[in-house]
Chains A and B, each alone.
Chain A
Amino acid sequence: MITKKLYVIGAFVFLLLLLIPLFFESTFVLHMYTLIFFYTALTAAWNIPAFGGQLSLGHASFFGIGAYAGAILYVKYGVSPWIGIAAAGAFAMLGGMVLSLPLIRLKGPFFTLASIAFAEVLRMIAIDWRSLTNGSVGINIPFKPALMNLTFQSGKPFYYISLTLAVVVVYLTYRIRYSALGFHLRAAASDDEAAKALGVNTSLAHFVALMWSSAITGVLGLFYVFYIYVLEPQTIFSLDLFSLQPALNGIIGGMGTVWGPVIGAVLMTPLGEFLRFYLGTIQQGLNYVVYGLVLVATVRFIPGGIVSLLAPMMKRKSAEKAAKPAIEKEAR
Chain B
Amino acid sequence: MSLLEVKQLTKRFGGLVAVNKMTFEINKGEIVGLIGPNGAGKTTVFNLISGIFPASEGNILLNGRELKRMPAHRRSLAGIGRTFQVVRPFEMTVLENVMVPALARNKSTKLARQKAEKVLEMMGLDQLSDSEPGNLTLAQRKRIEVARALATDPELLLLDEVLAGLNPTEVAENLPIIRQVRDSGVTIIFIEHLMDAMMSVSERVLVMDQGALISSGTPAEVTQDACVIKAYLGEEDPQC
Which chain A residues have a beta carbon within 8 Å of chain B's beta carbons?
A: 178-180, 183-184, 186-187, 190-191, 193-202, 318-319, 321-322
One of B9-17, B101-109, B171-179, B206-214 at the interface: B101-109
A170 to chain B, nearest CB (A): 19
B71, B109, B129, B152: the one contacting A198 at CB < 8 Å is B152
Q: When A198-B152, A322-B130 are in contact, do A183 and B99 touch as well, CB less than 8 Å?
A: yes
Chain A residues near B71 (CB-CB < 8 A): 196, 201
Closest 6 CB pairs of A and B: A199-B76, A199-B104, A322-B130, A190-B90, A198-B101, A196-B72
B84, B108, B109: the one contacting A197 at CB < 8 Å is B84
B189 to chain A, nearest CB (A): 15
Per the bound structure, the CA–CA distance linking A202 and B151 in Å amounts to 18
Chain A residues near B129 (CB-CB < 8 A): 322
Evaluate contact between B103 and A197: CB separation under 8 angstroms. no
Chain A residues near B73 (CB-CB < 8 A): 195-202
Chain A residues near B107 (CB-CB < 8 A): 179-180
Evaluate contact between A183 and B100: CB separation under 8 angstroms. yes
Whether, in the assembled complex, B50 has its beta carbon less than 8 Å from a beta carbon of chain A, the answer is: yes
Per the bound structure, the CA–CA distance linking A187 and B104 in Å amounts to 11
Chain B residues near A319 (CB-CB < 8 A): 130
Evaluate contact between A179 and B109: CB separation under 8 angstroms. yes
Per the bound structure, the CA–CA distance linking A186 and B93 in Å amounts to 12
Chain A residues near B84 (CB-CB < 8 A): 194, 197
Chain A residues near B81 (CB-CB < 8 A): 198
Whether, in the assembled complex, B91 has its beta carbon less than 8 Å from a beta carbon of chain A, the answer is: yes
Count chain A CB atoms within 10 A of each CB in B51, B103, B152 and give the residue with the most: B103
Q: When A183-B103, A318-B130 are in contact, do A197 and B90 touch as well, CB less than 8 Å?
A: no
Count chain A CB atoms within 10 A of each CB in B72, B74, B108 and give the residue with the most: B72
Count chain B CB atoms within 10 A of each CB in A194, A199, A201 and give the residue with the most: A199
Chain A residues near B195 (CB-CB < 8 A): none
Q: Which chain B residue lies CB-closest to A315?
A: B132
Chain B residues near A201 (CB-CB < 8 A): 71, 73-74, 104
Evaluate contact between B90 and A186: CB separation under 8 angstroms. yes
Q: Which chain A residue lies CB-closest to B98?
A: A198
Per the bound structure, the CA–CA distance linking A331 and B21 in Å amounts to 59
Evaluate contact between B91 and A190: CB separation under 8 angstroms. yes
Q: Which chain A residue lies CB-closest to B84?
A: A194
A92 to chain B, nearest CB (A): 25
Evaluate contact between A197 and B72: CB separation under 8 angstroms. yes
Chain B residues near A200 (CB-CB < 8 A): 73, 100-101, 103-104
Evaluate contact between A184 and B103: CB separation under 8 angstroms. yes
